[in-house]
Structure 1
């Protein structure tokens, strides 16, 4: 089980990036996203619509405060991975993380991540030590965790499915 926790969503300001965190989490193999910060019903409905149309059993939840979510996941035995440009390089530690068999909580930052998140995490993990997007960090981290297998994922229960094609867009619509 891989859950992604998006810290401190802000209405109006973070809508696009938080939506992209959710879509990337789903596409790259996570099972669930938990949004914290300001409640945004529109994002939750949008992601649920993607799951309805494209398939899978991906979930999205909202919890106002993120620290209780982190503490509960630690209590439940999850390995907590905080994505930050200040952490250990993903390629150096992901084999250890992947092979330990525990469920994962991957924390994706918001405007400013408090020290208590760094301290609570089992791993502070970077994909690069340069400024970058939390969406890119999430995609790369999940790609390493999934050993590249997520790129082959398809869902039979979706209403729509893309047929890879070099010449034009091709979508199968199922009823």
Structure 2
């Protein structure tokens, strides 16, 4: 897999962070990242993300690691640390995009789950804040990825999906991929 954008979830408190860690991974997948790296004690979150990828398509990889600090320190590419104390996303998004996506340089996005050690701030090429106010790390990741990709991730087509969601005004409609493709042809798309 060609990892252009990788999200690293730093820290995981079992029982307290299970849902949030899972949602960091699902948000990374849905909004354009290629892989998520979770702490080695977040196995249940990893399994949930893999299950969603199996059912709704990929490619997307999930990895468990216990060496997150060393991994970040040794990353060969651009490192963005999402933190409420960073530079405003709207002030640095073009520079981050130029240093990563446009230059085909791998990008590591660090999302904290507990108190992040100061060396993450020092290792980062960019410490980026979304609103500089306390809020969900999932919301910060979603806003950052959307700005990074300038909305293009919203048009992504998924490979090897067992299920596809059919957008509609009300209700829920999930079908197998062949049925979705037949509807798309019938609509002239």
Q: Aligning the two structures, in what range does the TM-score lie when normalised by the shorter sequence?
A: over 0.9
Q: CA deviation at 1:173?
A: 2.1
Which of residues 25, 41, 44 is equivalent to 1:42? Answer: 44
Deviations 1:96-155 (A, max 9, x none): 111222210000012101111101100000111111110000000000001101111121
SS of residue paired to 1:91: helix
Please say which structure displays the higher CA radius of gyration.
2
Aligned match of 1:86: 85
Gaps in structure 2 of 5+ consecutive residues: 179-189
Q: Secondary structure at the match of 1:9?
A: coil
CA contact (8 A) 2:59 2:159 kept: no
> What TM-score results when the alignment is normalised by the length of structure 2?
0.87
Cα distance in structure 2, aligned partners of 1:50 and 1:147: 25
Please name the residue that 2:17 is paired with.
14
Shift of 1:41: 2.0
The correspondence for 1:55, drawn from 54, 57, 63, is 57
Corresponding residue of 2:133: 130
- Greater mean deviation of Cα atoms: 56-65 or 138-147: 56-65
2:146 paired with 1:143: yes
| Paired position in structure 2 for 1:103 | 106
Distance 2:163 2:94 in 1: 34
Number of equivalences: 171
Distance in 2 (CA, whole Å) between partners of 1:68 and 1:50 is 29
Decide which of 122, 144, 148 is 1:119's aligned counterpart.
122
Partner secondary structure for residue 20 of structure 2: helix
Runs of 4+ residues over 6 Å off in structure 1: none
CA offset at residue 65 of structure 1? 2.7
Q: Deviation of residue 174 (structure 1)? A: 4.2
Cα drift, residue 33 of structure 1: 0.5
Alignment of 1:24-43 (within 5 A): 24-36=27-39, 38-43=40-45
TM-score (structure 1 length as normaliser): 0.93
Q: CA RMSD in A?
A: 1.2
